[in-house]
Amino acid sequence: MINVKKGAAHSLQQSDVRGLAKANEAVVAGMLCRINSSGQVVKGTTNAAAADDLLGFAINNQADGDVIASGKIALYLLDGGSVIETDQADAAITSANYPVGTRIGPGATAGKVRAWESGDRVIGYVEGVRALPASPSVSQNYLDLAGATQTKTQATQKNINLLAIKLTV
């Protein structure tokens, strides 16, 4: 999941950078990705990545209809002024794991971010952590029929924690 909290994406200026969807890459919106020298969007960064590879956060899931139809995935580039929120982090997204001001670098898991470690590229700085509803709350009970037994079940609202990152260039 990706949410643009502050920045140029409100006018979609950043979404005009697209790369080819690489087969079996399984990119999810909010993942840290790069466009390699072949023009393909690949998860994460590597020390071997070329300096001119474009680095940003995926705006689409690889399984989205638009991506399947066009064969391309859009990235929100590191622009030095925007704040994005993502749920793609190595450690659990809590204020204890990601205190405000912490430098953020590429994660050990491809496509994810983590607290910066020596040798990492700085992606940005933690602006905050917040929880957003991941599914609508349901207050109405409904009945399930399983054979002759009726069981009442109720859906509960789930929240997802998001890591707000002030992007660097």
- The better pLDDT of the pair 136, 82 is held by 82
3-state secondary structure of 68: helix
The pLDDT tens digits for 12-69 are 555 558 889 998 899 999 999 998 888 999 998 765 555 567 789 999 899 999 899 9
CB 27 within 8 A of CB 43: yes
CB 140 within 8 A of CB 153: no
Under CATH, which number does the domain 2-134+159-167 receive? 2.40.300
- pTM to 2 decimals? 0.81
Count other Cβ atoms within 10 Å, centred on residue 38: 9
The pLDDT tens digits for 96-117 are 999 999 999 999 899 999 999 9
Q: Sort strands 40-43 and 72-77 into parallel, antiparallel or unpaired.
A: unpaired
3-state secondary structure of 130: strand
The per-residue b/e assignment along 68-98, b for 16 or more CB within 10 angstroms, e otherwise, is: eeeeebbbbbbbeebbbbbbbbeeebeeebb
